[in-house]
Amino acid sequence: MDNQNYNLDYLFIAETLDGSIIKQTPDDKPRFSSWGTLMTDVQKEHLRKFSLVGKGHMFTVDLKDGHIEVDGNKIHPVKRILPGAVLKPIYWREVSRDIVVGLGGKVLPPKIRYILGWQYNLNGKNYDWQMGIE
């Protein structure tokens, strides 16, 4: 995905199980893959935490026990995590654009909704929890 035509309001920070930190930059280029975004690289890692940072806020998914932190305040999702689950991050962006039709019509700036959460597969069944951030 080419991000040249819109700016990211939130950038992610991924913390691996060994304590390494991977920070997304505004160009969102992969470091190790020859295609995709930085998330292409991150998906290959075993993560401890995954955070979105921007607009003066920080949203973190703890991938050990599934709790969410919003500006340091813990929120526990109502979904129970089954024993033996290995949580992986959910992250994507929904980008929409409005167009003003008519004389002098124009394309308005994009609206970006960030989806953040966790998912796991256990005994052939998928479980997830996610939230949207605008």
Give the pLDDT of the chain (134 residues) as one tens digit per residue.
444 467 899 999 999 999 999 999 999 888 887 888 899 889 889 999 999 999 999 999 999 999 999 999 999 988 899 999 999 999 999 999 888 888 888 888 899 999 999 999 999 999 999 999 99
Task: Extract the tokens encoding 110.
Answer: 């994009």
Provide the pLDDT for residue 5. 67
pLDDT for position 3: 46
- At 101 the pLDDT is 85
- pLDDT, position 109: 87
Q: Give the pLDDT confidence score for residue 23 in this predicted structure.
A: 96
Instruction: Extract the tokens encoding 1.
Output: 């995905």
CB atoms under 10 Å from CB of 66, counted, come to 19
Burial class, 78, CB count within 10 angstroms (exposed 0-12 / middle 13-18 / buried 19+) = exposed
Maximum CA extent, the chain: 60
Spatial distance between the Cα atoms of 27 and 7, rounded to a whole number of angstroms: 9
d(CA 35, CA 54): 25
The domain ranges of the chain are 11-133
